[in-house]
Amino acid sequence: MTNSLRRGSVAIVGAAESELGLCALGTTPYDLMAQATYRALADCGLHLKDIDGVFTATSQARFSSLGLCEYLGLKPYYQDNTLMGGASFMSHVAHAMAAINNGLCDVALIAYGSTQKSVSRAAASPREFNAYETPYKPFLPTSAYAMVAARHMYQYGTTREQLAEVAVAARQWALMNPVAWEKKPLTIDEVINSRMVSSPLTIRDCCLVTDGGGAIILTSAARAKDLKKKPAYVLGVGEDLSHIGISGMPELTVSGAAVSGPKAYAMAGITAKEVDLAMLYDAFTINTILFLEDLGFCPKGEGGNFVANGGVAPGGHLPVNTNGGGLSYCHPGMYGLFLLIESVRQLRGECGERQVPNCELALAHGNGGVLSSQATVILGSQGD
């Protein structure tokens, strides 16, 4: 079936991060959500009282829409706590669009916050017990992605150096982002020779562990036109759920992005060739390679060659993860919302040194769990 969402009918009008990196003792995920919300409201010129739809997720609270509504004193007409890992926020965009299209709310807030660096990753997102995996002590999520990388190398001849290229490219972009966590250049040799975590992945193949929050504000295209900044229209959305444990993933070298991507492209009426900016959830270096393939930027198995020789670095074939990515900018547990924030800024032309010239179509692809949930959002500077 195809969805009945109306392409370009809703836009992201406000976008902001909270404080990122390492927060003061006692900071809560809600402090970060609230700070990002105020900044996103200031970004678009709307006020707290305008928000009548609330969409949240965090691994640190089971009932995060309740928590945020209490904190901010909101009484939304519509709320949604959908939690499927880092892709949750792309799913929230689709749900917010449905709610706005159907008159269930008018101004939707999507917010996220995490203090996983301050409180430790183990405390922020405790692993669930799986009777068929936990006894073998996989180091999750890293070992799952490591086995994906190992299989991709075996099937397609992807090399260790090609994986490292992804981390190096992310770092080069991060050096142009003033709020990125990493501040020093990185080389391929440094990636390969850093501490092995779960082979073939070293610590530099893995995303950062930081604190941080974000918020975006969505409203109808009609209302968006009168607000402060250029709207980022939602042109396409697509989701796919394929498994929860890595032993349940049908084929390790094909992610659900091969399903979510085509759904989003079909709704947007575009192809990968037309995309000016690809924001791909880089929890690990293999992700970028896999998503470039599954989202149609290169044929299956060619992702390694695509990223080689600075292919996704500044000046490469395609601008990818221009904020520096989860690998070098920030990664507070569930990173999806930050991909949307950077997409909005690039479409507006606010990115300074790292600005993609004539950026009109941006694809933000979220990933959750161990490649378990995939959700793609296509944004455009023109809604029609």
Residues with catalytic function: 281, 329
Pick between residue 138 and residue 326 the one whose CB is nearest to other proteins: 138
Alpha carbon 265 to its chain's center: 17
Q: DSSP code of 207? A: -
Pick between residue 14 and residue 200 the one whose CB is nearest to other proteins: 200
Q: Is 100 in the site for other proteins (CB under 8 A)?
A: no
How many residues would you count in the chain? 384
Pick between residue 73 and residue 135 the one whose CB is nearest to other proteins: 135
Q: Residue 168: which residues within 8 A CB-CB, separation 6 or more? A: 186, 187, 188, 191, 310, 313
Q: Enumerate residues 3-62 that contact other proteins by CB under 8 A.
A: none
To the nearest 10 degrees (0 to 180), the angle between helices 285-294 and 257-268 is 50
Residue 53 near residue 104, CB atoms below 8 Å: yes
Is 154 exposed, middle or buried (CB count within 10 Å of its CB: 0-12, 13-18, 19+)? exposed
- Please, what is the minimum distance in Å from the beta carbon of residue 160 to other proteins? 14
Pick between residue 63 and residue 139 the one whose CB is nearest to other proteins: 139
**Residues in binding contact with other proteins, number by CB under 8 A:** 26
Q: Enumerate residues 232-291 that contact other proteins by CB under 8 A.
A: 245-248, 252
Residue 281: what residue type?
Answer: Y
- Please, what is the minimum distance in Å from the beta carbon of residue 150 to other proteins? 5
- Please, what is the minimum distance in Å from the beta carbon of residue 250 to other proteins? 9
Binding letters toward other proteins, positions 198-237, x by CB under 8 A: xxx-------------------------------------
Q: Is 151 in the site for other proteins (CB under 8 A)?
A: yes
Q: Is 128 helix (H, G, I), strand (E, B) or coil?
A: coil
Binding letters toward other proteins, positions 178-197, x by CB under 8 A: -----------------xxx
Q: Is 334 helix (H, G, I), strand (E, B) or coil?
A: coil
Closest CA to 169 of 285, 3, 19: 285
Residue 225 near residue 123, CB atoms below 8 Å: no
Binding piece for other proteins, criterion CB under 8 A, among 125-133, 184-192, 208-216, 307-315: 125-133
Binding piece for other proteins, criterion CB under 8 A, among 90-98, 135-143, 345-353, 358-366: 135-143
Closest CA to 74 of 232, 217, 255: 217
CA 230 to CA 345: how far, in whole Å?
10
Phi/psi of residue 22, nearest 5 degrees: -130, 120
- Please, what is the minimum distance in Å from the beta carbon of residue 190 to other proteins? 18
Binding-site member from 121, 123, 154, 299 for other proteins (CB under 8 A): 154
CA 109 to CA 111: how far, in whole Å?
6
Phi/psi of residue 133, nearest 5 degrees: -130, -50
Q: Is 133 in the site for other proteins (CB under 8 A)?
A: yes
Binding-site member from 139, 157, 183, 382 for other proteins (CB under 8 A): 139
Binding-site member from 26, 73, 135, 357 for other proteins (CB under 8 A): 135
Pick between residue 104 and residue 241 the one whose CB is nearest to other proteins: 241
- Please, what is the minimum distance in Å from the beta carbon of residue 252 to other proteins? 6
Give Dmax (Cα) for the chain.
57
Tokens of 192: 């390969």
Is 350 exposed, middle or buried (CB count within 10 Å of its CB: 0-12, 13-18, 19+)? middle
Binding piece for other proteins, criterion CB under 8 A, among 133-141, 162-170, 172-180, 282-290: 133-141
Pick between residue 46 and residue 244 the one whose CB is nearest to other proteins: 244
Would you tell me which residues interact with other proteins (CB under 8 A)? 131-133, 135-139, 143, 146-148, 150-151, 154, 195-200, 245-248, 252
